[in-house]
Every structure is written in C-alpha cells, then in structure tokens.
Structure 1
Amino acid sequence: MAGSGLFDWRGSWTLSLLLAYLCYLLLGAAIFQLLEKQAEAQSRNQFQMEKLRFLENYTCLDQYALERFVQVIMEAWEKGVNPTGNSTNPSNWDFSNSFFFAGMVVTTIGYGNLSPSTEAGQIFCIFYALFGIPLNVVFLNHLGTGLRSHLATMDTWGHQPRHNQVVQTLGLALFLTVGTFLLLILPPMVFSHVEGWSYGEGFYFAFITLSTIGFGDYVVGTDPDKHYISVYRSLAAVWIILGLAWLALVLPLGPMILHQLMYLWPLNKDPSSKKGITPEADGLSHTTKLPITI
C-alpha cells in the first residue's frame, strides 16, 4: 500500500507540474500576442503600402513581376545573401564565417539566417551535428566537473572556521562578478559599438545567444555596409563557447552560494552555531553538515 501511496503522490506532482507548465506557456502566449500583434499588423500594412506606391511610380511593372522579384529576394535571404548588398560583399562561407557557423551547429544555437544550400553540405551538417553536439555537451560538463573537483572542500564548508567560510564565499562572489562583466556586460558594449545597436539590443543578442535560443533577428557580422575585421565572427564564436562554458560553471554555483549566505546569517545571531553544533531535545549535541548542491 505504501508503494501505491508513493505512486499517487508522484502522479499528482507530475500533474501539477504539467498544469503549471501549460499555464506558463498560455501566459507567455497571451503576453507575446498583446505586445507583438499590433506591431506586426502595422508592419504588414506599411509593406503593402510601399508595394502599391512602388507600382504607382514604376508603371512598367505589374503586380506579378513585383511579387516575383520579392520572391527572389526572399530566396536570397534564406540562403544567407543580404539583398541590400552587392556582389562585392564578403562570402558567408569564408573560413571565419564557416568557423562561426560550425560553432552555432554544435552549440545548437542555430540562428537560422544561414544554412547549407547544397545537398552535400546538408548531409555533412547532419553528421557534423550528430557527433559535434555530444562533444560540446561533454566538453561543458567536463568543465563543470573540473570546477566541482576544485570546490570539493565546500562539502565540509559548514565545519570550517568562519574566516574560511567568508573567504570562500567572497571568492565565489568575485568569480561570478568578473565572469558576468567579461561575458555578459562587456560583450554587448562591443557589439553595440561595432554593429551600431543600442546597448539593450546588444544585451538582448547576448542573452538570446548564450541561452541557445538563437532567434536570428540579431546576428553579428551581417551588415553589408560595415567592414568587419576578418576574425570578427571567429572571435564571436569563441566568446559564445566561453560564455556557454561559464554558464555551465555558474548554474550549479547559484544554489551553493545561496546556501552559504543563508548559513552565514545565523552565525551572528546564535553563538552555538559557530561550531556547527545544534542543540537537540535530548540534551546532547550533534554536529550538523550543511547540505550543498554543486
């Protein structure tokens, strides 16, 4: 009967999570619709007006010819060719851009603004991703494991002198602060300067990229009117890999630092907790160990 009760508890918990998940999706859908639908309608109406105005100014063209030209532009865009450029624009498949694309494949970001157009390239992309994605996951997990091995002493953090606890907590906070500045605060400044974006747009691009969402609405190194250095996109790919690795290290550290800060607070209130000793109801004292999840 105990097993039946456990099954009922797990089933109810799963159902609750499912309902919460669906409610979260419904809430997101409602808010996105409220924020974006009117702007989309305005853009659609403006585009239609521009087409009508173009036909009025160039009477030698008919509706079919214009629609065909728009279709050609859309096909070029889907193949990574910017329609506002010309034939002198740098190739999307030079080594630097190819390196950037390879990084987007193995990290599963996939901006969607560039993809292989040849059958051979598509087949190679399948096998490249098939082996590259697990390799990327193993690499990031290995970095996380390496950090946990260096922080093995944190398992006994609750039994260390208070001075050591404070030093370790400050060290982790410094690690998070420096990493946040170098990988989340500084790069948007660089992208804003190079790409001509606002800082908000640069930060939006950085977050969407490092979270591997990769909408493709903002992509570095794609403006045909700008002259980028040859290694610009390769450096961006390196930043992405480092950023993902840093996140793989940071995500387990968040709960650990929270536990530490929560544990430090009562040390100033209850002298008996400084030695990690908790009074029990039977009059005896037992050492307690802080449960820390890394």
Structure 2
Amino acid sequence: MTSNGPGWRRMVVLFVVVVVYLCVGAAVFSQIEGDPEIERRLQLEAFLRNFIGNHSCLHHEDLITVLRQVDQEFTFALNTLRNRTVYTQWDFIGAFSFVVTVVTTIGYGNMAPRTYPGKVALVVYALIGIPITLIMLNYLGQLLTRLSTKVNKCKLCSTKPLVNKILNMVLIVTLGLTILFILPASAFSYIEDWTVLEALYYCFVTLSTIGFGDYVAAMSENRLSHRGTGDLYRIVTYVWILIGLAYLSLLINYISNVFIKKAEEMERLTKEKLEAEVSRLQQELSKTGKSVYKTAANVTSSVKGKVWEAPSSNGIDQETGSVTLLRISQLEES
C-alpha cells in the first residue's frame, strides 16, 4: 500500500473476493432455506384453498383484508389467492439479496433463516463476511477520496482560491447526491410505486445501514417483479448499495472531520487566549512590584535603623512564585 492508499489492482482483487464470498453464501442459504420454505408454502396453499372451498360465500376481497393484518408470509398468501405459482424467496437471487444485507449490516428483517442450520450458518457467515466487507468498503472509500481530491483540484474559479474550493466541494457533494440519492430515488419511486419522499427515505435508511425494513426495494411486487428483468433489477439495486455505503461513509467521515477540526481550533484559540491573559497578569504583577518598591525606596530616609531591600526578580519569588512586595531587614546598631 502506497501513501496514497490502495491501488486499483488490490481493490479489484478484494472486490472479486467479496463477490465470490457473496455467491458462496447465497448458494449455501439457498440450499438450506429453499426446500423448507417451499414445503411451508405448499401447506399454506393447501390450507387456503381448502378454506375457500368450505366458505363459498366468502369474498376474496374480504379474505385479503384479513390477510393484510398478517405479517408472516403475507405476500405469498396474496399470491396464492390470485392463483399464482408457488415460489421461494430463497432462490439464488433472493439469497444473494439476503447475504448482502447481512455482510453490510443493513439487516432489513424481511428475510431471516427459519431453520436451525440456517441460523447457525448465519452466525458463522456473518463473523467472516462483515470484516471482509468493511475492509472492501474502506478501500472503496479511499478510492472515492482520491477521486474527490482530484475533482477538488479543478480550477472553476482560478482568480479566487477560496471561492474555487467552495465550488469544487459543492460539485463533489452534488454529483454524489445526484448519482446515489436523487436518481435511485426517482427509479425506486417509479418501480416500487413509492412517493419521492418515501424513496429518498429508503435510500438514506439503507445506505446508513439503519435498515428498518419498512421499505425494501426489489423484494415485493413492482413493475419489474417478473423473472429476468426483476433479477437484474435486484442485482443493480445491491451494487448501488455497496457503492452508496462507501460514499455515505465518506460523507459522514468528512462531516466528522470538520467537527473535529472546529473543536480543535476552538480549543487552540481558547488556550492562546488563556496564555495571553496569564502573561498579561504576570506583567501587571511585575509592574505592581516595581511600583511598590519605588514607593518604599522614597521613604527610606524616614525609617531609621532599617534598610529596604528590593525583592528579587522584580518582586517575584523564584522558589514559591509569590509576589514579595517588600523585604525589611533589621540592622544592629553599632
């Protein structure tokens, strides 16, 4: 590693390692969770069809209203009532989405292992995957930092360096927010049928790894929910997450550094003011000591048998640091 950070070769190697690890994790969880989920859903499908057959007077819309209050397997229950094919979320693409949320610590909560082998595998997988992903995101953040440094050297206003620096910073922030927030939010708003505010909310909650799970892109029914296009949409979404995590981490780190520098600057200024005040007080004490000594010296003639001695160091005691105004020594009369 050079002083300028990791090179592109090391970044590519690490990126390949992370992608391979994600693919291995997706295959493992797909194998563990896929068949049990199919079995559970087939049982649920049989139950729902039997229930509908025994309640011919029950309207489908009424049953859908009831199912909307149920969290577990809600989407699948609706698809069953609409005579759609039984499927599993734990296919490779679905499991890949799951492991991405695991290693990035987003943790939406919309997918979780239900079997004991799956839960054990999750613990082991996360212990290895999270550190590797954090290292990769750290390297990606350093590369983005180097890129932003190059952009920051652009001379948009060559006559005024301060204005040029502000313009470059605005350009960096605007490009980042546009590419990683505004454009994705517009796409999510259209595809997922969300409002723009909901889409922006999802972008921030996801990239900050808060991951509430109240909004999850590329998982529920949407305009690209069919196979092929829907799988591509998922892959693009999670590539966006990886890049966005690095950018937002860089932005938060920059804001943190600004606050730290401001705090250090305030501490330095406060220290300088205190030192200046102490120096001023010392000078005032020194002047006061000299003034008192001169006043005492003027009345020396009126005191018989005593000699007024000037205090050492202009009135400042070297050993104790206190101010000695006068020192009077008694002379023996001859």
Give the TM-score, by structure 1 length. 0.54
Hey, what does 2:171 align to over in structure 1?
174
Of residues 62, 73, 82 in structure 1, which corresponds to 2:76? Answer: 82
Alignment of 1:216 with 2:213, yes or no, is yes
Distance apart, 1:132 and its partner CA: 1.2
Distance apart, 1:222 and its partner CA: 3.0
Hey, what does 1:253 align to over in structure 2?
254
Contact 1:143 1:249 in 2 (8 A): no
Contact 2:89 2:95 in 1 (8 A): yes
Contact 1:82 1:224 in 2 (8 A): no
Inter-partner Cα distance in structure 2 for 1:174 and 1:255: 20
Taking a change above 3 Å as real, the CA distance of residues 250 and 123 of structure 1, as seen in their structure-2 partners, is same
Q: Extract unaligned runs of 5+ from structure 2.
A: 1-54, 151-157, 262-275, 277-334
Taking a change above 3 Å as real, the CA distance of residues 213 and 257 of structure 1, as seen in their structure-2 partners, is closer
Taking a change above 3 Å as real, the CA distance of residues 258 and 195 of structure 1, as seen in their structure-2 partners, is same
Contact 1:192 1:198 in 2 (8 A): yes
Contact 1:89 1:224 in 2 (8 A): no
Contact 1:195 1:220 in 2 (8 A): yes
Hey, what does 1:201 align to over in structure 2?
198
Hey, what does 1:94 align to over in structure 2?
91
Taking a change above 3 Å as real, the CA distance of residues 239 and 149 of structure 1, as seen in their structure-2 partners, is closer
Distance apart, 1:199 and its partner CA: 0.8
Computed over aligned residues only, the root mean square deviation of the Cα atoms, in angstroms, reads 3.8
Matched residue type, 1:122 = K
Inter-partner Cα distance in structure 2 for 1:109 and 1:256: 24
Inter-partner Cα distance in structure 1 for 2:113 and 2:139: 30
Alignment of 1:128 with 2:109, yes or no, is no
Inter-partner Cα distance in structure 2 for 1:222 and 1:116: 16
Of residues 137, 142, 164 in structure 1, which corresponds to 2:139? Answer: 142
Hey, what does 2:100 align to over in structure 1?
103
Q: Which has the larger radius of gyration?
A: 2
Hey, what does 2:311 align to over in structure 1?
none
Distance apart, 1:112 and its partner CA: 0.7
Distance apart, 1:209 and its partner CA: 1.0
Matched residue SS, 1:82: helix
Matched residue type, 2:132 = L
Of residues 188, 191, 194 in structure 2, which corresponds to 1:191? Answer: 188
Inter-partner Cα distance in structure 2 for 1:137 and 1:179: 20
Taking a change above 3 Å as real, the CA distance of residues 147 and 168 of structure 1, as seen in their structure-2 partners, is farther
Q: Deviations over 1:37-74 (max 9, x none)?
A: xxxxxxxxxxxxxxxxxxxxx7999xxxx9xx97x954
Matched residue SS, 1:231: helix
Matched residue type, 1:85 = N
Contact 2:144 2:247 in 1 (8 A): no
Contact 2:191 2:222 in 1 (8 A): no
Contact 2:100 2:238 in 1 (8 A): yes
Matched residue SS, 1:85: helix
Taking a change above 3 Å as real, the CA distance of residues 115 and 170 of structure 1, as seen in their structure-2 partners, is same
For these two proteins, the number of residue pairs brought into alignment is 189
Identity of aligned residues (%): 37
